Amino acid sequence: MAAEIVNPRSDSDNTTESGADEPFDPAFALHRGGKMAVQATVPIRDKDDLSLAYTPGVAKVCSAIAEQPELVHDYTWKSQVVAVVTDGTAVLGLGDIGPEASLPVMEGKAILFKQFGGVDAVPIALATTDTDEIVETVVRLAPSFGGVNLEDISAPRCFEIERRLQERLDIPVFHDDQHGTAVVTLAALRNAAKLTGRGLGDLRAVISGAGAAGVAIAKFLLEAGLGDVAVADRKGIVSRDREDLTPVKRELAELTNRAGLSGSLESALAGADVFIGVSGGTVPEPAVASMAPGAFVFAMANPNPEVHPDVAHKYAAVVATGRSDYPNQINNVLAFPGIFAGALQVRASRITEGMKIAAANALADVVGDQLAADYVIPSPFDERVAPAVTAAVAAAARAEGVARR
């Protein structure tokens, strides 16, 4: 059944085609005509300007780039623009809604790149869900861009698409649903541990959700030094004794769950230090109550967290969600603009684990001496965030030898 559309009109139109008044919906008013446009960075005021911006002046630049391909970074927009690529199969909480319906989200992502990182971005919604076709299409588009941000592509295809693209391209390829979420989660977890006098190695976590975000968070937290983590899907804990695992989950089982847990998510939460929700659904209150004293609850499903903050605060020392109307919002916009800005600044060939860990540490450090239970992660509107993440990522890229300037 199609979703009901409430008054998709401009704010100057107060009636429907039938003439009946309808309530004003600001979301439709804001989106009418799209949320972005192309704007020239040089003036064309007369024939002299035209002859420099286009023919014949442009031919000199083209010829120079043909002779020295690296000049493309200096004389085009390549070094400051990212392709935001989707197939529309895993859009926000809406699922597989297709490429056209995904465009408002991709436009939104593009303007977040610009607003929070000073990075230009172009939405590209592809009319295919075939892994080979997506890879080949992006490879052919890549000469126009300095980086590729994969967005809202369903698991497990997203893992293979990212891996194959990075193998073939010498520009950063970054699946934000995986890595952006993981970076911000690590930053919040570092500060929560610091607040309660513990280290990452002291913590056992349970993740609800074995999709793109859940898998990436688990691997990244272990890389950063987390003591242990178990991941649960719809059938329970991902463990080595399960025979129904996909190749991605089989690999995950080899890396996680050092305690050898099996059974349900709820049973795994008994005595756990951290709950991380990236799945939706509801965790029963008794399961939350069974967690270790001083636990952390990061319930990130939107719009309804897996554990309502009112419930979480009864038992947890630190509570975070994905929502903007509660403290400690774990929001990817804290990470991806600065990560790409730093990578583009040094013309990095890829985004490494070290660069992501540097981003998480920089993000956590922004909180500084203001650290408190309701402030373990900064606001997306904190103007210190993007510069701090950008500088840390650029420095890490140089240190790891993936920077080209």
Beta bridge partners of 299: 277, 321
Residue 54: active-site member: yes
Q: Which residue shows structure tokens 């847990």?
A: 261
Q: Distance between CA atoms of 273 and 221, rounded to whole angstroms?
A: 14
Secondary structure tally for the chain: helices H, strands E: 16, 10
pLDDT in tens, the chain (405 residues): 333 444 444 444 444 444 455 678 999 999 999 999 989 999 999 999 999 999 999 999 999 999 999 999 999 999 999 999 999 999 987 899 999 999 999 999 999 999 999 999 999 999 999 999 999 999 999 999 999 999 999 999 999 999 999 999 999 999 999 999 999 999 999 999 999 999 999 999 999 999 999 999 999 999 999 999 999 999 999 999 999 999 999 999 999 999 999 999 999 999 999 999 999 889 999 999 999 999 999 999 988 999 999 999 999 999 999 999 999 999 999 999 999 999 999 999 999 999 999 999 999 999 999 999 999 999 999 999 999 999 999 999 999 999 999
Note whether 77-171 and 176-405 share their fold.
Answer: yes
Determine the residue type at 167.
Answer: E
Q: How many residues does the chain have?
A: 405
Rg of the chain (C-alpha set): 23
331 is in an annotated binding site: yes
Residues sharing a CB contact under 8 Å with residue 119, sequence separation 6 or more, in sequence order: 80, 81, 82, 113, 337, 340, 341, 344
Per-residue tokens: 267 = 């049973």
Instruction: Kindly list the domain boundaries of the chain, sorted by start residue.
Output: 77-171, 176-405
Indicate the CATH number of 77-171 among 3.90.110.10, 2.40.340.10, 3.40.50.10380, 3.55.40.10: 3.40.50.10380
Provide the pLDDT for residue 21.
59
The Cα-based distances of 182 to 194, 243, 273 in angstroms read 18, 27, 18
pLDDT score recorded for residue 93: 77
Topology at the third CATH level for domain 176-405: Rossmann fold (3.40.50)
Query: Which is catalytic among the residues 109, 219, 249, 356?
Result: 109
Q: What is the pLDDT of residue 391?
A: 98
How would you classify residue 271: left for phi > 0, otherwise alpha for psi between -120 and 50, otherwise beta? left
302 is in an annotated binding site: yes
Q: Is 46 annotated as ligand-binding?
A: no
The Cα 179–Cα 191 span in angstroms is 19
Active site includes 109? yes
pTM above 0.85, yes or no: yes
Degrees, nearest 5: CA angle 308-313-317: 130
What phi and psi, each to the nearest 5 degrees, are found at residue 150? Answer: -80, 135
- Residues facing residue 103 across a β-bridge: none
